Structures are given as structure tokens and as C-alpha cells.
A and B are shown apart, each in its own frame.
Chain A
Amino acid sequence: MWKQPYFVIGFSIIAFFLIGSFVYEWIWGNVPRQIYYIMEGGRAVEGAPISPNWQFPLGSDEFGYDLLGKLMLGAKYTILAALAVGALRMLIAVPLGYILGTYLDKHRKWISSLADSMHYIPLTLFAAFVLTPVLWMPPEGFTNTIWERIGIQVVIMALLTVPIVAILIANEAALLRDKEYILAAKTLGAGRLRIIRQHLYPQMREKIAVLYGQQVMETFIVFAHLGLLKLFLGGTKVSYDPMFGDPPMSISYEWAGLFGSTFRYLQSAPWLPLAPVLFIGLTIFAVSLMMEGYLRSKNPKVKKLRKAKVEEPLVEWNREQLRNNMVRIKEQEMVKAEE
């Protein structure tokens, strides 16, 4: 696994963001540097938001905070939350799927059509609908801490698509269960639990790993979508002041919030919403690199097989030649017949 360049590149991108995030906070504290205007030859040439330049690679936001610093500080919230959502979802869905696929196989059909109805509800919409009471600050303020809210959000988002993932695993397990070697194990007296542990799980380990990667990628997308709806990771600070209310704000510097609260600056300061989305895209890309690397390390045959196939000698029928030969043979026969 560690010899696969794809895996290593993907892993190092994510590790860079995570370690960088903690190191940044450790060195510079949890407030990014702030600058109100740039001086050049004794005159202010640009006020906040400052466009990207060498000193501030990603520019600054409307209050003059360094955007790169904000993104680095926020990386840990977004990435860890997405990884946690995927992990929790798999932890619930995998055993559930196995139980559905083995013990409750008779009921699998109707449960799967119930879970199938989830496919008609857009995930973002569903998440927004269910999470609004958790994340939108009520007028009297939040009653729980930010970590509690992040925890609740992770649990709810994990639960949202558990039915779909569980059914996927159940169907896969049911397919495998009809294989001969499992029938043989059954005949030898293996119980269901043993079959799951010894046969089904090892067979499906790769599929489960890929599924986990897909869940993490999906979670990143949903986070970004929720950001657009002003539902930020760990809660949205809403100002209920009717006159001078601030726009809804994110409490931490997580990426969905950085994107969602700056989306309206798309035309005037495009780097503000673009940079967080680019970072999200980069992380998703890193996850897909890791998945590909993992798969390649598990099936190195793929490459060899392909090579072998290419080197196979191709017999090209030369039609012209064939025809000439046929004509010649025919002519010889005719000559013989005449003789």
C-alpha cells in the first residue's frame, strides 16, 4: 500500500492539511493575521478584501483576515468531521448489512424497497431539512457547546444514508453467500456468525474500503452544499438584531462556512468563495487518489494482465493475399481438370 505512488500522494495531501492545521494553531494561535490595507510607497493601494499576492497567497477576506490562515485553521474541523461521518456510517451500516444479508434475508426485499425511497430525496435537501433545528442558532443562543453540536451533526449525517449503504452490503453479502465454498462451509457446520467473520468479511474488505472512501467524498460535498444553505459545521451564528444584524456566520473557520458566508462576493472578490471550494476539491481528489492506490496495491494483477493482453500476437488476415491464394488454387485445379 505504501509503495503505491497514488496512495502516498493522496495520503500526504490530507496529512499536510491536518498536521498543518494543528501546527498553524500551535505556532500562530487560532486567529489568522489581519491586515487592513497594503501600503506601497507611503500610500494605501488596496484595502480589505485584498486580492491574492505574494505575501498573502490567497488574499484576505472582507475584514482583512488572511484567507490561507483561515483555511489552514479550518482544515482540521472539516476533514476530521468528514472522516468521522464516513467511519461512523460504515461502523453502523456494515454489521447491519451483514445481519440483513444473513439473518433477516427473508425481509431483505421489502426493507430494500423502503431504503430505495431514499434515492428520491436529494441528500443535501434531506440533510438541510433534518439538521436545521440542530445548527441554526435559536434567538436565545445555543444551549450546547460547539463540540457537542459537531458531534450531533456527525452522528445525524452518518445515520442519514445508513439504510442505503446497509442494503448495498446486504445485497453483496447475499450474492456471495450463494457461492459454493460458503455452502461447503455451511455443510461442515459453520454458524452464520462464523461465515460472516471468516468468509464474507475478508471477501468484501476491499469493497468496504472503497465504500468508505466514497462516503467521505460524498460527505465533503454535502458539507459544501450545507455551507451554501448557511448551515455550517458546528452551528451557524445568527444575529437577530433587526437593524444591524450581521449575516449568518460560522463559529469555527471550517471550509463550508468560509465558502457559504462569502458566496455573495463571487463577482467582486472571487478568491473568497473559490479558495475554500478548491481546497474541498483537492481533499476529495486526495481521497480518490488514496482509493485508487489502495486498490492497485491489492490487485497488482490488473497491470500484468493488461500487459499480457497487449503483447498477444495479433493474426491479421490479409484478405488480398488470401484471395490471391484461393484464385491460384482454383486455377491450378481447373488446369488439372482440363488435363
Chain B
Amino acid sequence: MGAFILRRTGVMILTALCLTFVVFFLTNLFPNLEKLAKTQGNARMSDAEVVSWLDRNGYGGPMILRYGEWLGVVPGWTREDPQTGEITGRCIDFGMDPADAPRFCGLLQGDLGYSTVSNDEVAHIIGGRLVLTGILMFWAFAIMVPAALLVGVLAGMREGSRLDRSLSTFSIASTATPEYVSGVVFIVLLASSTAGVSSTLSEWGWLGPDGWLGDRNTLFLGSARSAMDGGITFWNFTLPVVTIALYGMGYIARMTRASMAEVMTSQYIRTARLKGVSFRNIVLKHALRNALIAPFTVIMLQFPWLLTGVVIVETLFSYNGFGWTLVQAASNNDIELLLACSIVAVLVVLVTQLISDIGYVLLNPRIRIS
């Protein structure tokens, strides 16, 4: 078991190194740097000026060295200005004495760099945004996982029944509805004052100034902007959460159903049935535990999928979390911020993969004992 975890962790670190290098390479290609130079310096720089600007600001060296500096395993660059004698460097913050500056400053030292667009430490920006996204993810999971497991178990306990067929069709429909479709449909149906359910309810007088459903014009709010300042309410947070949860739900439900259906045909369930155990007890006490091993893996592997969903939902509902930051960083050519976002994304994916692998082995007695 220990050797297995060690090997998996080793592969994970290797993967993380490869992926971060790929991201570093793609974000530090010359056209990106050229654009950076022109936005930071002067928009009408000549090619030679661009190259000299890049050299002065530490973007000149070979790619692999810069990757090392960024990672924190190669000493940060320092450079002495030939005219003024002023020393600048990667690790020397503005106004800092060059002698006090640390030699290494990179990912391993916890220094993620400086966002050129929002003029702030990347670590500072990312931290706040991750908290916001964490809240969103928490609620999405809190709705998605129990609902998916319930649907899957109900569908799988009597394979081929009418209940199974209708729940399976529901799961298929939910996997066929990406976030940007369900989000749009939800907003139109529930959060638009001119169409859908809300407008009908206002006409009946149920919504509006003296309606019994609340004094707002719409059932829900089509933007989660107001939820960011701590004011998470049922009104402004339901739609984004449900939109994320719905797409992931179908897949988990189908996996649970398949696993449940397989368990229900196994020998020990038949034995229990022949002994006269009631159907309810068979499902709850005998089948459920074994049927939930496979969905556990799927739930963990759902994180990378949810990441795309989070980016879409945060853009659609203007919620300034991690996904929104990623989009902004990518479209503004904010290299350090984009790199940091990528690291977080890649790490989330790899760590969940690791947990799912180890968890599967731990949960499954057949593998654990052999």
C-alpha cells in the first residue's frame, strides 16, 4: 500500500512538472512576451526595443532557465544597470535593498509573482478568488452528490423498471445539457422579468410589491454579483449552483446506476433475498455500501469537469471567482496570473486523481486485501 501511494505520488509530481512546463512554455512564447512588452512599455516599440525591454525585465534568458527561476530551483536573475549602477532582479521588490533579497523566489518559496494588469501580488488575488469559488463548489457538491446518488440508487435497484427508465432518461438529458445551455434556460425561465415563470407570477400578483412570494420582480436573480460581498441568499445563489450541479449530476447518477445494477445481480444479494430479507433492507444494508465504491472514484474525477463548469457559470452569472479570474488573465495576457491559475487547476486535477486512486484501493476490500 505504501509503495503504491509513493509510486502514484511520484507519477503525479512528474505529471505536474510536465504540465507546468507546458503551460509556462505556452504563456511565455515570444508573441505573448512581445504583447506584454508593448502594453507595459510603449505600444509603438520597434522590434529591437522589444528585445531590449524583455532583456531588461528578465524575459531574455533561455526558456528552461526562466522556468527554473519561476519554479524556484534556479536563483532569480539580477541585473546591474550600466548607467545608474542600480541593481534590479526577480527577487528584489521595489525599494528593497539588493543585499537583503533572497536568492530564490519562485513557486516553491510561495512567491507566485506579480499581476501586471491588476497591480497586485498574484498570491493575494488568487487566494480571495479561490475562497469565492470554494463556496460555489461546496454548494454545488452539496446538491449534486446526494441528488445523483439518490437517482442512481433508485434507478439501479430495479433494473429495467419504469422508474429506472424515466430516471435514466433524466440522467441522459442532464448530461446533454451543458452549463451554458441550462444557465441560459434557467435565467430566461426563472430570472427574467419579461418572460418565463417570473413574469407570469408577477401578472398574477404573486411576485412584486405585495406578492406573497416576495417583493422582488423575479423568482431568482440572474447574476451572482451580490453574493460576493458575503450576502449569499437563496435568491442570488440558487441558479449558479443548480446550473453547475445539473450537468455533473447525470454522469454520477449513471455510474451509480450501473454499479448498483451490477451489485443487485450478484450472488450474495440473491442469497439474502432467498433468506427472506426485505427488499428495503437488501438495498439499504447489503447493496448500498458496495454500490457506492465506483461512484466515489467518479465523483473525485468530476473535479476537472466541474472546473470548466465553474468557468462558464462564473462568466455567465458574473461571479468573480477563480474561473472568472482565469478568463480575465487569459484574455488580458496577464502571464503570471494565468500561470498561477493553471497551477491551481492542474494541482486540483492531479490531487483529486490521486485521492480517487488511493480511495478506490482503500474502499474496495478485494483490492485492499490482495
- Same complex for A and B? Answer no
**What is A's interface to B at a CB cutoff of 8 Å?**
none
